[in-house]
């Protein structure tokens, strides 16, 4: 079953085609990595999926429903969750309150919320820091907090925009384990620069270049694809 | 002791102290405190929007005045009972808040400040324009017989004090309750990081509109009660000055703290009162003290206490 698809999705900024005519299908339960060189349009593309910016043309279909015209908060309540590329948390609030805010939208009752918050903090390894102000956390821990805020929503589609940026080697390994553990429960769309993370965690990879889908396939196919290598390293005849 | 219990003890304690003061205060301060409690209720309303939701309005006098005139005109022309007139004042404030909120919330930041200021000026000028009914600047008096609520004469100082305390207690407890409810936590989240709150699936516009209505409703109720307790309705209460006052009170006392509005109102009232006993240049003393507080206690008096000593303060 396809959970998310786009047809002809495009976005221009003052004449620049940031994303152009993208047809994209994401089956339920899959972990999909979205990769591409800087400026390829990855963040613009996922921002259109979750409604942060409106497309110039095309449509987004989530779970069989055309959501192109829906505002972001309605898409989130349909079961999307989004973590920001640049860390975005409630710095003055406690760690637990950050996660609780993410949980309360779909959970009622203080006890249930508390249970879900504890589980999510446990999953990312921040349980012992629940009463600290989130702004006092180290950068890597703030990234993990964002992921916990995504997980606690029990989303059907979790969109992670460069989640491992700024994480230490050890934290990255834990992150890969965490993502693999979610395999089958949640559909994940992962924007990622770290190829080791992509190879280790993704079922399937889509490559975006100059706003268009350049290639799609398994991690091994993508690694062997000469076009992808050219996009990343520059083509020999350029 | 949990934070919830501590905060109940603190706020309950304040209400008990205010109740007890009634029996020991000399007449002059007794009258002052009644006035301060009503004005602090207005500040509590302002704080819901400014302190907790992070929206700076420069036009809250329009809600205070809407409540006051809704009540006053109801008594003067429709011969309403005081209870009904208070409800009319509250309703006037809520309707105004719905309309103004719906329009003004399309703007953000400085534009929001200007738009609210303009709406308040429009209401102020409207009150002057219809001077035939509102008596404009001069205002009108609500006669003693019209101020008897359920057999209780509100022009009597003791009754007036209790009525002011009742209003203040209700507003204080409502604001305390609100910010501990999920909806109140979302308002704080909007203040802290609006885009993040939106991407957690919260309808920002609806929450802000609710905040404007709660804030405007409390302000209007305070305005209606003020007019009824002190027997006067006038256009001064719709002027810019009365939009700036709650901002100052809340900033001084501590924006985004439940007790801040009361502390700020009390502080400012007595600052002006005491300094005017010393010199005719009392606004100079008041001004210097205000500058000092903003320099050395940037989060206001209660905000500073929270930062330094009691992190649990709501």
Q: Which of B68, B58, B80, B104 lies closest to B213 in space, CA to CA?
A: B104
Taking CA–CA distances from A103, the nearest residue in chain B reads: B200
Q: How much is the pLDDT for A220?
A: 85
Coil, strand, or helix at residue A202?
A: coil
- B138 interface with A at CB cutoff 8 Å: no
Do B200 and A102 count as a contact with CB atoms less than 8 A apart? yes
- A223 interface with B at CB cutoff 8 Å: no
Q: To the nearest 10°, report the CA torsion of A87, A90, A95, A96.
A: -120
- B186 interface with A at CB cutoff 8 Å: yes
B205: chain A residues, CB-CB within 8 Å: none
- What is the nearest CA distance from A62 to chain B, expressed in angstroms? 16
Taking each helix axis from N to C end, the angle separating A95-104 and A139-151, rounded to the nearest 10 degrees, works out to 20
Nearest to A90 among B189, B198, B204 (CB): B189
Are A47 and A112 in the same domain? no
User: In this structure, are residues B179 and B187 in contact, taking their beta carbons and an 8 Å threshold?
Assistant: yes
Are A11 and A51 in the same domain? yes
For residue A85, being part of any structural domain is answered with no
Do B202 and A73 count as a contact with CB atoms less than 8 A apart? yes
What global pTM score does this model have? 0.88
Q: How much is the pLDDT for A235?
A: 56
Are A9 and A30 in the same domain? yes
Do B185 and A100 count as a contact with CB atoms less than 8 A apart? yes
pLDDT digits (tens, 9 = 90+) for B188-241: 999 999 999 999 999 999 999 999 999 999 999 999 999 999 989 988 899 998
A52: chain B residues, CB-CB within 8 Å: 199
- What is the nearest CA distance from A156 to chain B, expressed in angstroms? 14
Are A6 and A72 in the same domain? yes
For residue A187, being part of any structural domain is answered with yes
Are A177 and A211 in the same domain? yes
Collect the ranges in chain A with pLDDT lower than 70: 233-238
- A52 interface with B at CB cutoff 8 Å: yes
Are A51 and A97 in the same domain? no
For residue B223, being part of any structural domain is answered with yes
Q: How much is the pLDDT for B212?
A: 96
Taking CA–CA distances from A113, the nearest residue in chain B reads: B182
Do A93 and B188 count as a contact with CB atoms less than 8 A apart? yes
- What is the nearest CA distance from B5 to chain A, expressed in angstroms? 16
- What is the nearest CA distance from B198 to chain A, expressed in angstroms? 6
Q: How much is the pLDDT for B173?
A: 92
Do A88 and B202 count as a contact with CB atoms less than 8 A apart? no
Among residues A109, A132, A154, the one where a domain terminates is: A154
Are A68 and A2 in the same domain? yes
Q: How much is the pLDDT for B24?
A: 83
- A196 interface with B at CB cutoff 8 Å: no
For residue B310, being part of any structural domain is answered with no
Which residues is B140 bridged to in the sheet? B233
Q: How much is the pLDDT for A233?
A: 67
Are A109 and A220 in the same domain? no
Are A20 and A96 in the same domain? no
B188: chain A residues, CB-CB within 8 Å: 93
Give, in degrees to the nearest 5, the angle at Cα A28 between A26 and A29: 115
Taking CA–CA distances from B192, the nearest residue in chain A reads: A90
Up-side HSE of residue B92: CA atoms within 13 Å toward CB?
Answer: 26
Pairing between strand A31-35 and A187-191?
A: parallel
Per-residue pLDDT tens digits of chain B, which is 314 residues long: 677 788 888 888 888 888 888 888 887 888 889 999 999 999 999 999 999 999 999 999 999 999 999 999 988 888 888 889 999 999 999 999 999 999 999 998 899 999 999 999 999 999 989 888 888 888 888 887 777 778 787 778 888 999 999 999 999 999 999 998 889 999 999 999 999 999 999 999 999 999 999 999 999 999 999 999 998 998 889 999 899 999 989 998 988 899 999 999 999 888 888 888 887 877 788 788 878 888 888 888 888 888 878 777 77
Contact map slice: B 199-218 vs A, CB within 8 A: 199-204
Among residues A101, A133, A154, the one where a domain terminates is: A154
CA distance B8 to B13: 8
Structural domains counted in chain A: 2
For residue B267, being part of any structural domain is answered with no
Taking CA–CA distances from A132, the nearest residue in chain B reads: B311
For residue B200, being part of any structural domain is answered with yes
Which range marks the domain in which residue B43 is found?
12-243
Q: How much is the pLDDT for A37?
A: 84
Q: How big is chain A by its Cα radius of gyration, in Å?
A: 18
- What is the nearest CA distance from B201 to chain A, expressed in angstroms? 4
Do B200 and A89 count as a contact with CB atoms less than 8 A apart? no
pLDDT digits (tens, 9 = 90+) for B57-87: 999 999 999 999 999 998 888 888 888 999 9
Do B197 and A101 count as a contact with CB atoms less than 8 A apart? yes
Domain with residue A175: its CATH number is: 3.40.50.300
Q: How much is the pLDDT for B68?
A: 95
Are A124 and A210 in the same domain? no
Which range marks the domain in which residue A118 is found?
90-154
For residue A43, being part of any structural domain is answered with yes
For residue B224, being part of any structural domain is answered with yes
For residue B218, being part of any structural domain is answered with yes
- A112 interface with B at CB cutoff 8 Å: no
Q: How much is the pLDDT for B290?
A: 79
Do B188 and A100 count as a contact with CB atoms less than 8 A apart? no
For residue B236, being part of any structural domain is answered with yes
Burial of B164-190, coded b for 16+ CB within 10 Å and e otherwise, reads bbebbbebbebbbebbeeeebbbbbbb
Nearest to B200 among A76, A91, A93 (CB): A76
CA distance B77 to B55: 36
Are A167 and A146 in the same domain? no
CA distance B124 to B220: 15
Residue in B185, B190, B200, B313 to test binding to A, most A beta-carbons within 10 Å: B200
- A210 interface with B at CB cutoff 8 Å: no
Structural domains counted in chain B: 1
């Amino acid at each position: 079953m396809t959970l998310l698809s786009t047809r002809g999705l495009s976005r221009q900024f003052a004449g620049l085609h940031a994303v152009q005519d993208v047809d994209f299908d994401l089956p339920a339960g899959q972990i999909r990595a979205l990769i591409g060189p800087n400026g390829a349009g990855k963040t613009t593309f996922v921002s259109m999926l979750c409604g942060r910016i409106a497309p110039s043309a095309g449509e987004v279909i989530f779970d069989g429903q055309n959501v192109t015209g829906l505002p972001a908060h309605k898409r989130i309540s349909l079961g999307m969750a989004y973590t920001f590329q640049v860390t975005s948390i409630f710095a003055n609030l406690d760690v637990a309150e950050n996660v609780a805010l993410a949980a309360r939208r779909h959970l009622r009752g203080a006890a249930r919320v508390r249970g879900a918050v504890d589980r999510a903090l446990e999953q990312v390894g921040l349980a012992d820091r629940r009463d600290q102000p989130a702004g006092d956390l180290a950068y890597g821990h703030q990234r993990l907090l964002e992921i916990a805020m995504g997980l606690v929503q029990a989303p059907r589609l979790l969109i992670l925009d460069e989640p491992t940026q700024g994480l230490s080697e050890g934290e990255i390994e834990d992150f890969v384990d965490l993502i693999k553990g979610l395999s089958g429960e949640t559909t994940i769309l992962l924007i990622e620069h770290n190829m080791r993370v992509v190879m280790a965690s993704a079922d399937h990879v889509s490559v975006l270049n100059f706003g268009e889908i350049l290639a799609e396939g398994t991690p091994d196919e993508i690694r062997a694809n000469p076009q992808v290598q050219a996009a990343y390293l520059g083509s020999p005849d350029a | 002791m949990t934070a919830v219990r501590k905060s109940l003890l603190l706020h309950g304690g304040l209400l008990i102290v205010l109740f007890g003061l009634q029996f020991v205060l000399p007449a002059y301060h007794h009258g002052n405190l009644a006035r301060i409690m009503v004005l602090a209720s207005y500040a509590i309303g302002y704080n819901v929007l400014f302190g907790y939701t992070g929206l700076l309005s420069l036009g809250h006098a329009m809600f205070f005045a809407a409540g006051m005139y809704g009540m006053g005109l109801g008594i003067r022309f429709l011969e309403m009972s005081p209870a009904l007139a208070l409800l009319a004042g509250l309703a006037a404030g809520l309707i105004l808040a719905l309309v103004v909120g719906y329009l003004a919330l399309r703007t953000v930041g400085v534009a929001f400040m200007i738009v609210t200021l303009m709406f308040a000026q429009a209401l102020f000028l409207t009150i002057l324009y219809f001077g035939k009914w509102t008596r404009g600047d001069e205002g009108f008096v609500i006669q003693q017989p019209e101020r008897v609520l359920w057999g209780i004469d509100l022009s009597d100082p003791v009754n007036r004090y209790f009525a002011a305390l009742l209003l203040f207690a209700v507003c204080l407890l409502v604001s305390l309750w609100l910010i501990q409810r999920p909806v109140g936590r979302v308002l704080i989240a909007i203040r802290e990081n609006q885009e993040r709150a939106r991407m957690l699936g919260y309808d920002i516009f609806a929450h802000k509109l609710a905040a404007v209505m709660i804030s405007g409703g409390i302000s209007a109720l305070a305005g209606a009660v003020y007019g009824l307790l002190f027997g006067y309705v006038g256009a001064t209460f719709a002027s810019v000055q009365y939009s700036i006052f709650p901002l100052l009170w809340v900033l001084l006392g501590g924006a985004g703290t439940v007790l801040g509005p009361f502390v700020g109102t009390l502080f400012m009232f007595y600052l002006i009162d005491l300094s005017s006993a010393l010199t005719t240049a009392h606004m100079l003393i008041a001004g210097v003290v205000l500058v000092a507080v903003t320099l050395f206690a940037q989060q206001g008096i209660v905000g500073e206490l929270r930062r330094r000593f009691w992190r649990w303060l709501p």
